[in-house]
Amino acid sequence: MPKNLVIVESPAKAKTIEQFLGKDYVVKSSFGHIRDLPKKGLNIDTDNNFTPKYEISQDKKKVVSELKKIAKISDDVILASDEDREGEAIAWHLTQALKLDPLKAKRIVFHEITKPAIEEAIKNPRTVDLHLVDAQQARRVLDRIVGYELSPLLWKKVRTGLSAGRVQSVAVRLIVEREREIRSFTPKSSFKISAEFIHEDNHIPATLDKTMASYEQARQWLEKTASAVFIVTGVSTKPSRRSPSAPFTTSTLQQEASRRLGFSVRQTMTIAQRLYEAGSITYMRTDSTLLSGLALNTIGLYIQSKFGTNYHAKRQFKTKNQSAQEAHEAIRPTDVNTKSINGDTATQKLYDLIWQRTVASQMSDARISRSEIDIDISNQTEKFVAKGEVLEFDGFMKVYGGAKEDVILPLLKNDDQLTLDTLRAKEQFSRSPARYSEASLVRKLEELGIGRPSTYAPTISTIQTRGYVEKTDLEGVSRKVRGLILKNSQLNETEDEESTGNDRAKLLPTSIAEVTTDFLTKYFPTIVDYDFTAKAEEDFDAIALGKEPWHKMIAKFYKQFHPIIEKTNSVSRHEVSQARLVGNDPKTDQPIYARFGRFGPMLQRGETTDENKPEFAPMPEGETIETVNLNQALAMFQLPREVGKTDDGQDIIANIGRFGPYIKVGDKAISIKGHDPHSISKDTAVTLYEEKLKKDAEKNIKEFSSGIKVLKGPYGPYITNGKKNARIAKDIDPTTITEEQAQDILNKAPSKKQRFRKRKAK
């Protein structure tokens, strides 16, 4: 019979901790939260201090039943969930489900899952911190109120299946506003002047300290400078230092894992969770950059033994956020002497990154010698500047961040005359604001004080699954870059091409994101207000410190929020659709609008108030409500277009659908991606149709009168009745299968697993 029951959140964590405790302890997992608000309904008593109505989740009833049985025969129940607000809430919910007194129940916390840390925690239990529980409860209740009252309104006014939330709606707004900045940005051209000088067989690259505004100005400047004398007027060498960054917090780990390893925010947090539960790193949800005294000493000894005492510099970094929620350490290895851990390649890479960053934070500055040479131009007011940089001592760069190649300048002195070898002017363009990646969005949210480390990954995942944002690669467009080269007194023009606008894994807003953001900004400015959302986090911190009752904060918000919900119910869907007048049809003089409809962005010709109903057409591929022009819109109203007839007399109709351009012949739709439905020829259309018929014929091996088919699939032959598929064993010839055999194989095949499907708009 166990004397002590220890309850943690996850089975992996339970397995690791059980290794450190003796036979007097049994360690069980709650598998996360065991109680929550029911999925259906608000379940918050708005007339009684916003009391939430929790219930034990259906999938946790068996877990709770087992925990109750063990708790009854145990001397002590020890709650060992994570040390943050979410973990504190899990511990409190366990006291409610197991009928324990939260003011007496033993609660232990630890930053790392190691034997010394667990033993120390067992010796020093505390009770459940109800202030932290209240802070988590306030967040949960506020998010439920916003989601439950605002999401149905979005369903009615914008599109079915949408959701809204404090952090997610602000994140979407940031992405929408950035994309609009990019669209309205006009790049400006200027010309950068560079030169290469020679002095005693040494080549010295230098850059002019000013750019030229125009091509003509650059040309005139080069022509005049061709006859100049170039004299060294200043030589300086200055020592410089580069210091290491602080150990990782949750957000800096997410950003650096994205930049260095290409990991998504969710992937980073999933792997970090595994590393923590395996006892390899400290707790991975933290705003703290502090390291414990023991960690500082251990890391210091490691650096001194491996690299030498001159590489060690003990540091304690200041933490920006001093909230009660995150009063623990930075993310670090639990044992700095462990350089390699068990796991797949991605797990090892993330551990390496954490190890390197932690060790580097306690290493000496890198010492750099920076040199600069000023070069005077006899007939110009500007000057050239040559810069060099030499790494003299690598310091922390030995383990984190490689140094660039040294740029060594020759020894020169004032009044030395340089010989001009080449003079260049190259066109450059100002850059638009950068689109957000997952990592840069995390950085922006953190700068604004919006959300907390634990919210970033689920927020970014939600705005993508809900269709507000797409993570995509963008192909650049080619543009011409003009230039001039002066060499041997000859001035020649150059013209190159460069690609601009290439983007990888960037977050782009969809049309639904723009319409939803405009709707929320107009009618619910508080919800998407950056300051309000950040202030809410400060309020949660105040609640966690016991400075404010949580229900008062909710009451203050609800008093403003709920009346707007009731008022906004009267807003028409047409008003929400943000229709933009593109222009008038020159033939009919009817207005053409770009607007958002139930199924996405579309074009409308005519007014809804006219006697004749307006006509509708899809949006041209690659265009949005804000970018489509009149000519593009008029072309879309020419579809569907009759291309011609097949050899057997069937009509060929070209059109654009949900999945792009296509032709339709009878009941067959054939994709014509890469072809324009406005101009595709009859011959091309017939060829694509015949190719489709041939492909379908090759796919069909057999077809029976009952509707059962034997087909050739990408993974081999299979049988289908339209509702269920069954693979055919390799030792069976699919051409010899009878109808009875096919039915028997279908009957024995496992049923299809139910998958989550997005609800279609009605």
What are the pLDDT digits (tens) for 560-595? 888 888 888 777 766 676 678 899 999 889 999 888
Alpha carbons within 13 angstroms on the beta-carbon side of residue 352 total: 14
- Work out whether the CA dihedral 86, 91, 94, 100 comes out positive or negative: negative
Please determine, for residue 756, whether its predicted confidence score (pLDDT) is greater than 70: no
Contact in structure between 518 and 170 (CB atoms under 8 Å): no
Contact in structure between 630 and 673 (CB atoms under 8 Å): no
Quick one: tokens of 205? 């690259």
Tens of pLDDT, residues 148-165:
888 888 888 777 777 888
Overall residue count recorded for the chain in this entry:
762
According to the model, what pLDDT value does residue 758 have? 40
Instruction: Say how far residue 645 (Cα) sits from the centre of its chain.
Output: 48
Please determine, for residue 401, whether its predicted confidence score (pLDDT) is greater than 80: no
Q: CA dist 255 to 288, 321, 445, Å?
A: 16, 18, 12
Mean pLDDT of 32-45: 91
Residue 551's pLDDT band (boundaries 50, 70, 90)? very high
Cα angle: 606, vertex 612, 618; to 5 degrees: 45
Quick one: tokens of 327? 């009063």
Tens of pLDDT, residues 617-641:
888 877 878 788 999 999 888 888 8
3-state secondary structure of 477: strand
* SS3 sequence of 333-366: ECCCCCCCCCCCHHHHHHHHHHHHHHHHCCECCE
Residue 181's pLDDT band (boundaries 50, 70, 90)? very high
The per-residue pLDDT of the chain, averaged, comes to 89
Instruction: Say how far residue 179 (Cα) sits from the centre of its chain.
Output: 15
Which residue stretches of 475-524 are H helix? Answer: 511-523
Please determine, for residue 385, whether its predicted confidence score (pLDDT) is greater than 90: yes
Residues 281 and 353: their CA atoms lie apart, in Å, by 12
Please determine, for residue 738, whether its predicted confidence score (pLDDT) is greater than 60: yes
Tens of pLDDT, residues 648-680:
889 999 988 877 889 999 888 999 988 888 889
Residue 761's pLDDT band (boundaries 50, 70, 90)? very low
For 690, phi then psi, to 5°, come to -65, -35
Domains identified in the chain and CATH numbers? 4-128 (3.40.50.140), 189-240+366-429 (2.70.20.10), 250-360 (1.10.290.10), 579-636 (no CATH), 641-700 (no CATH), 704-748 (no CATH)
For 161, phi then psi, to 5°, come to 95, 0
Residues 608 and 668: their CA atoms lie apart, in Å, by 33
Buried b (16+ CB within 10 A) or exposed e, 564-579: bbeebeeeeeeebbbb
224: left (phi over 0), alpha (psi -120 to 50) or beta: alpha
Contact in structure between 461 and 270 (CB atoms under 8 Å): no
Tens of pLDDT, residues 238-289:
999 999 999 999 999 999 999 999 999 999 999 999 999 999 999 998 888 9
Residues 549 and 149: their CA atoms lie apart, in Å, by 23
Residue 28's pLDDT band (boundaries 50, 70, 90)? very high
Pairing of strands 503-509, 490-500: unpaired
Instruction: Say how far residue 196 (Cα) sits from the centre of its chain.
Output: 43
Angle between helices 130-157 and 511-523 (to 10 degrees): 110
Strand order in the sheet with 716-720: 700-703, 709-713, 716-720, 725-727
Provide the annotated active-site residues.
283
Please determine, for residue 762, whether its predicted confidence score (pLDDT) is greater than 50: no
Contact in structure between 278 and 335 (CB atoms under 8 Å): no
Cis ω for the linkage preceding 620 (within 30 of 0): no
Q: Over the Cα atoms of the chain, what is R_g?
A: 33
Tens of pLDDT, residues 508-522:
998 889 888 988 888
Higher-scoring residue by pLDDT: 311, 757 = 311
- Interacting residues of 585 by C-beta distance below 8 A, sequence separation 6+: 591, 592, 605, 634, 637
